[in-house]
Chain A
Amino acid sequence: MDIRGVQIDDTFAEAFGMRGARIIITAKNQKWAREAANKMTGFATSVIACKCEAAIERELAPDQTPDGRPGISVLLFTMDSDSLPKRVIERVGQTVLTCPTTACFDGLPGAAERIAIGKPLRTFGDGFQGSKVIDGVRYWRLPVMEGEFLIQESFGKARGVGGGNFLILAESADAALDAAEAAVDAMAGMPGVILPFPGGIVRSGSKVGSMRYKTMIASTNDAFAPTLRAITKTSLPDGVNSVLEIVLDGLDFRSIAMAMQIGIDAACRPGVHSITAGNYGGKLGPFHFYLRKIMSGDVEDAPKEGAPA
């Protein structure tokens, strides 16, 4: 399969189950909502060292938010249930509570599983906090120097998918970056999906473990590093001089698959040799995103071979 002269490899991206929350941040204007969201999602590229993966999902107009103000939707994912509330609490507490004019709401109101976020944060109010139940939902009012910070007591917890990916193999670093930027721009604002790395792009894709250092849980993906072509077991075709990766986390398989479809299509442009994906042979992650199926329009999850019916 090729799209506008770019080969789509016959392979798949292998992804894992995660736990996620959607945090709605509102503020006086979009500037301050984004300030809080940028801080909240800082240093949240990979669970390997950041303990969570988070990014801005999309901007929200005033008529899309609970309090009628401009807002930003953030998705935050962790590898397990227990650490999700810890990560949300510490990040909301340090970056949203502290940011002028913000309020914070749950973006998954239909989720059956709930995590307490506003409830533990209320103690910052030192006993001066108060609560309000509005339309059956409890909110906490925390007095702060600016005025008052409002936060919902509990947030929804969802099962998500982390580690959807595709790799852009290009003739030059400039061509790889142009294609990756085009892919990110095309995927921007798609509901239920985030790209947690800087600008949505990864230049240092990793392999599991290390050939040389026992303590490393991940190390450079030498098979795709062009400077190592001559001295390692390379996966790079001739003519490829740079590779960039797009990593996607999402609330469900379909959202990621749809984003990959749009992103890969946008990345197929002059200077790009091929598109491939990272996997571990299908033995580790339960979610497999087959590139050619997705680019043929099939974005639904499929039962895995050998999986119980």
Chain B
Amino acid sequence: MSERITLTLRAALIRPLGAECISADRFADLSEQEIGALELWDGHASVALGDVFAIRGDHSSSVTIEGDLAHLDGVGTAMRGGEIAIAGSVGGGVGARMSGGAIRIAGNAGDDAGIAMAGGLLAIAGSAGDRAGAALPGASKGMTGGEIIVRGGVGRDAGSRMRRGTLFCASVGEGAGTAMIAGNIIVAGDLGDGAGLGNKRGSILALGNVRVPPTYAYACTYRPPHVSLMLLSLRARHELLVNDEHVHGLYQRYSGDLADIGKGEILEWRSM
């Protein structure tokens, strides 16, 4: 049994490779040989993990992956526990349907990061693509728990149909929180257009600029008590650069989407 399993990419990937088998909780029960025999998917063809990665260690739920992994998709899919550290960037679908454990990415992540996530932590030091924390195609619910922390920007449709959990990012593209059922989207910078359309009970916290949709109505300017709690908790646990003026600041509350049940909100920071 090793303290940690390290996968080192043998040669640069030239096209997407499906790596849904790489999951920290699954590795905890496997020998080096068994890990090497797991199947990656190159289109319809399978390839042994051991042929793509050099493997060091066995029987551990702490996994490090090294190399340029921008074409490696599905890492940590349905992961239930353990920890994966990705030394650089990674492809799409990282942490999809994960329900526990932590995935930490030193670089960027592709599209569908944390899609349909139910629990655990997905921490991305760089940026993420479209549909972070959103729903799988055709599914009624997106993210149902856990936290996605993106220190950079996030693409379109982030948190779409989110049911629970928290997505934090520096900025976000169009359509954030579309058809959001509940949960929290916290954006330290600017939000793209169409944020919160179809929102039922979700909270979108805009510390930067936001164009509030016309189907939202202004309610009041106040200090939301849960915002202090939420931002202090995130700052303490993830060492995020959240200012005191945001923690204890005044926010404009917009209720919406009034085209739906209207119990959601966009909280736009105004001043200390």
- Of A143-151, A154-162, A233-241, A284-292, the stretch lying at the interface with chain B is A143-151
Q: Say yes or no: is A67 at the interface (Cβ < 8 Å to chain B).
A: yes
Decide if B225 touches A66 in the complex (CB within 8 Å): no
CB distance from B237 to the nearest CB of A (A): 7
- Which residues of the partner chain A approach B225 to less than 8 Å between Cβ atoms? 67, 103, 141, 147-150
Residue of B nearest to A66 (CB): B229
Select which of B201, B226, B248, B263 is within 8 A of A134 by beta carbon.
B226
Residue of B nearest to A150 (CB): B225
Known: A68-B247, A68-B248. A132 touches B222 (CB 8 A): no
> What are the interface flags for B181-220 relative to A under an 8 Å C-beta threshold, 1 for contact and 0 otherwise?
0001000000000000000010100000000000000001
> Secondary structure of the A side of the interface?
strand
- Which residues of the partner chain B approach A134 to less than 8 Å between Cβ atoms? 226, 229-230, 233
- Which residues of the partner chain B approach A130 to less than 8 Å between Cβ atoms? 201, 263
Select which of A66, A132, A150 is within 8 A of B232 by beta carbon.
A66
CB distance from B224 to the nearest CB of A (A): 6
Q: How many angstroms between the C-alpha atoms of A132 and B228 in the bound complex? A: 12
- Which residues of the partner chain A approach B263 to less than 8 Å between Cβ atoms? 130
CB distance from B229 to the nearest CB of A (A): 5
Q: Say yes or no: is A69 at the interface (Cβ < 8 Å to chain B).
A: yes
CB distance from A62 to the nearest CB of B (A): 10
- Which residues of the partner chain B approach A147 to less than 8 Å between Cβ atoms? 220, 222-225
Within 8 A of A (CB), among B221-263: 222-226, 228-230, 232-233, 237, 244, 247-248, 263
Q: How many angstroms between the C-alpha atoms of A149 and B223 in the bound complex? A: 11
- Which residues of the partner chain A approach B248 to less than 8 Å between Cβ atoms? 68-69
Q: Say yes or no: is A231 at the interface (Cβ < 8 Å to chain B).
A: no
Residue of B nearest to A131 (CB): B182
- Which residues of the partner chain A approach B151 to less than 8 Å between Cβ atoms? none
Q: Tally chain B residues at the interface, Cβ within 8 Å.
A: 20
- Which residues of the partner chain A approach B141 to less than 8 Å between Cβ atoms? none
> What are the interface flags for B106-126 relative to A under an 8 Å C-beta threshold, 1 for contact and 0 otherwise?
000000000000000000000
Within 8 A of B (CB), among A113-171: 130, 132-135, 139, 141, 147-150
Within 8 A of A (CB), among B141-194: 164, 184
- Which residues of the partner chain B approach A67 to less than 8 Å between Cβ atoms? 225, 228-229, 232
Residue of B nearest to A139 (CB): B226
Number of chain A interface residues as a range: 10 to 19
CB distance from A109 to the nearest CB of B (A): 13
Q: How many angstroms between the C-alpha atoms of A67 and B226 in the bound complex? A: 8
Decide if B222 touches A150 in the complex (CB within 8 Å): no
Q: How many angstroms between the C-alpha atoms of A206 and B224 in the bound complex? A: 48
Decide if A150 touches B164 in the complex (CB within 8 Å): no
Within 8 A of B (CB), among A36-53: none
Decide if B233 touches A141 in the complex (CB within 8 Å): no
Decide if A139 touches B229 in the complex (CB within 8 Å): yes
> What are the interface flags for A37-81 relative to B under an 8 Å C-beta threshold, 1 for contact and 0 otherwise?
000000000000000000000000000001111000000000000
Choose among B184, B226, B232 the residue with the greatest number of A CB atoms under 10 Å from its CB.
B226
Choose among B201, B232, B244 the residue with the greatest number of A CB atoms under 10 Å from its CB.
B232
Select which of B203, B237, B247 is within 8 A of A132 by beta carbon.
B203
- Which residues of the partner chain A approach B244 to less than 8 Å between Cβ atoms? 68
Q: How many angstroms between the C-alpha atoms of A103 and B232 in the bound complex? A: 15
Q: How many angstroms between the C-alpha atoms of A66 and B237 in the bound complex? A: 13
Decide if A132 touches B226 in the complex (CB within 8 Å): yes
- Which residues of the partner chain A approach B229 to less than 8 Å between Cβ atoms? 66-67, 103, 134, 139, 150
Residue of B nearest to A104 (CB): B225
> What are the interface flags for B49-71 relative to A under an 8 Å C-beta threshold, 1 for contact and 0 otherwise?
00000000000000000000000
Within 8 A of B (CB), among A84-103: 103
Q: How many angstroms between the C-alpha atoms of A147 and B225 in the bound complex? A: 9
Q: How many angstroms between the C-alpha atoms of A139 and B203 in the bound complex? A: 14
Decide if B226 touches A133 in the complex (CB within 8 Å): no
Within 8 A of A (CB), among B20-61: none
Q: How many angstroms between the C-alpha atoms of A37 and B225 in the bound complex? A: 19
Select which of A66, A68, A103, A133 is within 8 A of B164 by beta carbon.
A133
Decide if A68 touches B232 in the complex (CB within 8 Å): yes
Q: How many angstroms between the C-alpha atoms of A69 and B231 in the bound complex? A: 13
- Which residues of the partner chain A approach B164 to less than 8 Å between Cβ atoms? 133
- Which residues of the partner chain B approach A132 to less than 8 Å between Cβ atoms? 184, 203, 226, 230
- Which residues of the partner chain A approach B232 to less than 8 Å between Cβ atoms? 66-68
- Which residues of the partner chain A approach B230 to less than 8 Å between Cβ atoms? 132, 134
- Which residues of the partner chain B approach A66 to less than 8 Å between Cβ atoms? 229, 232-233
CB distance from A72 to the nearest CB of B (A): 16
Q: How many angstroms between the C-alpha atoms of A203 and B57 in the bound complex? A: 72
Q: How many angstroms between the C-alpha atoms of A117 and B237 in the bound complex? A: 26
- Which residues of the partner chain B approach A150 to less than 8 Å between Cβ atoms? 225-226, 229
- Which residues of the partner chain B approach A141 to less than 8 Å between Cβ atoms? 224-226
Q: How many angstroms between the C-alpha atoms of A135 and B164 in the bound complex? A: 12
Q: How many angstroms between the C-alpha atoms of A141 and B233 in the bound complex? A: 17
CB distance from A86 to the nearest CB of B (A): 25
Identify the B interface with A (CB < 8 A): 164, 184, 201, 203, 220, 222-226, 228-230, 232-233, 237, 244, 247-248, 263
Instruction: List 6 A-B pairs, Cβ < 8 Å.
Output: A68-B247, A68-B248, A132-B230, A134-B229, A150-B225, A150-B229
6 tightest A-B CB contacts, nearest first? A150-B225, A67-B228, A147-B222, A135-B233, A67-B229, A103-B225
